[in-house]
Structure 1
């Protein structure tokens, strides 16, 4: 979970942990890349667009440029709601896009579409 808002990191982390995910978080894209550089390859990265140091689009581009990280699924979770922004994120390599504010069901539904919903969460 990469977001400059501590509260948003907590909310998304609670949703993902409730679905069975192990969550690590970062306050901006550069911190997120640092976590990945430590060798942890997650199934999913959720990332905000508007952050200091490195924004979400730059993070997506950096992950997609790294062959070791190409298998990582990326879901933008952001307040950017303009169609052109959504298209830019998907073109850069994001797999899904969730607009803030959102519900836990919205996150769960996107994970189900991606085939990333843990089996025990399919009840």
Structure 2
């Protein structure tokens, strides 16, 4: 089973995306801020990260930079999510 780390601070978005991905057979791990997301990525080593770019504590831009700088998480694809078109 593929694991997706969803880093999203908006509860409604997190719930909607989680439910859709679970129905498609994915295992979902969630984080509500960038710092928590980085910690979970290092612990769980998900197959994919869906990253909101407007996060509290550590924004998605900086969290992605830190993930890509780490030898342990740099191989994990990160897809940016944003409501800002």
1:46 aligns with 2:50: yes
Unaligned 5+ segments in structure 1 are: 82-123
Q: Which has the higher strand share?
A: 2
Residue pairs, 1:19-98, within 5 angstroms: 19-38=24-43, 40-81=44-85
TM-score by length of 1: 0.61
Q: How far does the alpha carbon of each residue in 1:75-120 deviate from its partner, in whole angstroms, 9 at most, with x for none?
A: 1111122xxxxxxxxxxxxxxxxxxxxxxxxxxxxxxxxxxxxxxx
Task: Give the superposition deviation at 1:36.
Answer: 2.1
Alpha-carbon separation, structure 2, partners of 1:3 and 1:48: 5
What is the Cα-based RMSD across aligned positions, in Å?
1.0
Flag as ranges the 4+ runs of structure 1 deviating above 4 A: none
TM-score by length of 2: 0.87
Judge conservation of contact 2:42–2:73 (CA < 8 Å) in 1.
Answer: no
Alpha-carbon separation, structure 2, partners of 1:60 and 1:76: 9
Aligned length: 80
Tell me: higher relative CO, structure 1 or 2? Use CA pairs within 8 A at least 6 residues apart. Answer: 2
Alpha-carbon separation, structure 1, partners of 2:21 and 2:39: 21
